[in-house]
A and B are shown apart, each in its own frame.
Chain A
């Protein structure tokens, strides 16, 4: 029987990790992710898991230890945030390039400088093209569910790629919500035994990790990586179907909210999607056909599916909790624009940057954006393509 609990996002992630019982975890503290590995260390100390836990001297070392343990044939997990992820950068590519199915929770937080510890997607967006799978989560329940599914996705024999599960720093990581835990046995059965693939220490079948590959084959390796990534969407859907059977909760590549007959729509990631859905309801009550799309699988990005889902709208606003300096538009905007580009009749697109460094995103913000979209839809004209909202001028 599922257990109904009131827990924080971090607690939920730590509980998922306890239930998965990885072979090795490496950790270095960083706000607001510290709490996850903190609680998990408690499980290790209290004998609740069999995990070998290593507390290292930096995140670079944490990811390096994960790479080593994963190459040795272990099921491996860690968690980090912001500067920690930034410091792991080099090893992120090693993990994906050597196809090691490491699972990492990323508690999204702003990047320095200036120093800021609050919720912001700059960290995850900076690592969006490092070859990892990324699943984003609106709330504690989704973070927990994504964690459990991520092991199945990353470890799938056709995939074997590392995966990141993202949730918003403080807003979700430190707020208590009502949610449901699955039974230990159900989780154990769902993720199954870890299957090794080309592990080190299999003396009969020696392997080398991390070779030098120059002009002769490097490009083929990269293309092979891209090919694997192209299979991820289907695996995510298959795993979601199995997950629905054990949880009753339905997941796809993204979530749509009142979108089918919508004329205007918001595209937004993580916790702010919840706030925005309320604003959508307010507009629906006024008779305005508003809807919302919340990406879940952000890497690899399901361009075609998202394009299909949005193409019938008249106007869409993509809200980014990160900026892409020098690229003019936010990172999510650019992906959505690519997704709808192939369609001759496509919605007008605008971009808002919101909530940087933990700045509050309120229902009024979503309502202002929807009002602007209604105007854009009516007139067919866009006044400003990109704008910061909730910012002091």
Chain B
């Protein structure tokens, strides 16, 4: 991402300290590419991150303003920020699956309910990878992880017909998409739509973690095998196969269909103030 990183990222943070073979950089690049294609500049965006590999490896990479949340709280911080930031400024969050769909899910649901103008990229490495590879709430059933040596069997948000994007759709999110790291331009297009939507957008992006997930589930850190594991189990929506775990593409799009969180608050407060003044 040479030209992109020069324009948008802090040189001393690229490459990141992620393990070799980690797929997070592909997701990161897709986000920066989308920003570039939308013609946005460094000062147009405030970038927030979570804890964990997903958060820490993208933290401080953005040349402009950035902030880190504690585990699961960055959505709440971002909503506070949204209220005070000019509406044309974009807030982008790069977070982990455990952060968004586990410890932070309540904040995420309320961000969706209130339709806060945030674009959240959930970088899903299929569990808690920076703490050594415990299973999480998107870990495929049967996967061997550090905390499920005989295969993960708990109900989660991506099994038995459950889909975390469904939860968020019903909570009020106005743009939802799912991709895998290898989706390239298709993912970039979804992220662009997400950024354009004036409301809560979330792009769920599965990526390969050879170090922890790969080594437990596949018995190897072989990057190619881990990439293949994800790629072969994903397919564009409508073209799903029997083994498809991740149907990719736009899951739900009602962009700009209802008032945005901060706009809604400002408008109503203004109305109350005017009524009080009469």
A contact set with B: CB distance below 8 Å? 28-31, 34-35, 38, 41-42, 45, 55, 57-58, 83, 87, 112-113, 115
**Residue pair B149, A34 in contact (C-beta under 8 Å):** no
Within 8 A of A (CB), among B23-40: none
Give complex CA distance A45, B56 in Å. 31
Q: Could you list 29 examples of A-B contacts with CB < 8 Å?
A: A28-B103, A29-B128, A29-B131, A29-B132, A30-B131, A31-B130, A31-B131, A34-B131, A34-B132, A35-B132, A38-B132, A38-B134, A38-B147, A45-B148, A45-B149, A45-B150, A55-B134, A55-B154, A57-B103, A57-B137, A58-B71, A58-B72, A58-B102, A58-B103, A83-B71, A113-B70, A115-B51, A115-B56, A115-B68
**Residue pair B149, A29 in contact (C-beta under 8 Å):** no
Say whether chain B's binding surface is mostly helix, strand, loop, or mixed: loop
Give complex CA distance A28, B128 in Å. 10
Which residues on the A side are within 8 Å of B105 (C-beta)? 57
The answer to the question of B117 belonging to the interface, with a C-beta cut-off of 8 Å to chain A, is no
The answer to the question of B124 belonging to the interface, with a C-beta cut-off of 8 Å to chain A, is no
Give complex CA distance A55, B71 in Å. 16
Give complex CA distance A57, B130 in Å. 16
Which residues on the A side are within 8 Å of B70 (C-beta)? 83, 112-113
Residue of A nearest to B135 (CB): A55
Give complex CA distance A313, B205 in Å. 63
Nearest 6 pairs between A and B by C-beta? A29-B131, A58-B103, A57-B102, A34-B131, A29-B134, A41-B147
The answer to the question of B146 belonging to the interface, with a C-beta cut-off of 8 Å to chain A, is yes
Residue of B nearest to A45 (CB): B149
Give complex CA distance A30, B134 in Å. 11
Q: A34-B132, A45-B148, A58-B103 are in contact. List 19 more A-B contacts (CB 8 A).
A: A28-B103, A29-B128, A29-B132, A29-B134, A29-B147, A34-B131, A38-B132, A45-B149, A45-B150, A55-B134, A55-B135, A55-B147, A55-B154, A57-B105, A113-B68, A113-B70, A115-B51, A115-B56, A115-B68
Residue of A nearest to B150 (CB): A45
Q: A29-B131, A112-B70 are in contact. Are A38 and B146 (CB under 8 A)?
A: yes
CB of B98 to closest CB in A, whole Å? 8
Which residues on the A side are within 8 Å of B56 (C-beta)? 115
Give complex CA distance A35, B146 in Å. 10
Within 8 A of A (CB), among B105-133: 105, 128, 130-132
**A-contact 0/1 string along B132-163, CB 8 Å cutoff:** 10110100000000111110001000000000
Give complex CA distance A55, B131 in Å. 14
Which residues on the B side are within 8 Å of A28 (C-beta)? 103
**Count: A-B pairs, CB below 8 Å:** 43
Which residues on the A side are within 8 Å of B132 (C-beta)? 29, 34-35, 38
Which residues on the A side are within 8 Å of B103 (C-beta)? 28, 57-58
Which residues on the A side are within 8 Å of B154 (C-beta)? 55
Give complex CA distance A35, B105 in Å. 25
Give complex CA distance A111, B200 in Å. 31
Give complex CA distance A31, B71 in Å. 13
CB of B149 to closest CB in A, whole Å? 5
Most buried by A among B70, B147, B148: B147
**A-contact 0/1 string along B90-111, CB 8 Å cutoff:** 0000000000001101000000
Residue of A nearest to B146 (CB): A38
Most buried by B among A41, A45, A58, A87: A58
Which residues on the B side are within 8 Å of A38 (C-beta)? 132, 134, 146-147
Residue of B nearest to A46 (CB): B149
Which residues on the A side are within 8 Å of B68 (C-beta)? 113, 115
Which residues on the A side are within 8 Å of B135 (C-beta)? 55
**A-contact 0/1 string along B6-34, CB 8 Å cutoff:** 00000000000000000000000000000
Which residues on the B side are within 8 Å of A113 (C-beta)? 68, 70
CB of A34 to closest CB in B, whole Å? 5
CB of A20 to closest CB in B, whole Å? 20
Residue of B nearest to A60 (CB): B103
Which residues on the A side are within 8 Å of B134 (C-beta)? 29, 34, 38, 55
CB of B80 to closest CB in A, whole Å? 16
Residue of A nearest to B127 (CB): A29
Give complex CA distance A137, B105 in Å. 36
Give complex CA distance A115, B149 in Å. 30
CB of A62 to closest CB in B, whole Å? 11
Most buried by B among A30, A34, A112: A34
Which residues on the A side are within 8 Å of B137 (C-beta)? 57
Give complex CA distance A65, B103 in Å. 15
Which residues on the A side are within 8 Å of B102 (C-beta)? 57-58
Which residues on the A side are within 8 Å of B128 (C-beta)? 29
CB of A118 to closest CB in B, whole Å? 15
Give complex CA distance A83, B131 in Å. 14
Residue of B nearest to A34 (CB): B131
Which residues on the B side are within 8 Å of A30 (C-beta)? 131
Give complex CA distance A112, B50 in Å. 13
Which residues on the B side are within 8 Å of A41 (C-beta)? 147
CB of B140 to closest CB in A, whole Å? 16
Which residues on the B side are within 8 Å of A42 (C-beta)? 149
Give complex CA distance A34, B146 in Å. 11
CB of A122 to closest CB in B, whole Å? 14
Give complex CA distance A57, B137 in Å. 9
Residue of A nearest to B128 (CB): A29
Residue of B nearest to A33 (CB): B131
CB of B19 to closest CB in A, whole Å? 16
Which residues on the B side are within 8 Å of A29 (C-beta)? 128, 131-132, 134, 147
CB of A55 to closest CB in B, whole Å? 6
Within 8 A of A (CB), among B205-220: none
Which residues on the B side are within 8 Å of A112 (C-beta)? 70
Give complex CA distance A28, B99 in Å. 12
Which residues on the A side are within 8 Å of B148 (C-beta)? 45
Most buried by A among B72, B134, B148: B134
Which residues on the A side are within 8 Å of B147 (C-beta)? 29, 38, 41, 55
Which residues on the A side are within 8 Å of B146 (C-beta)? 38
Most buried by B among A30, A55, A83: A55
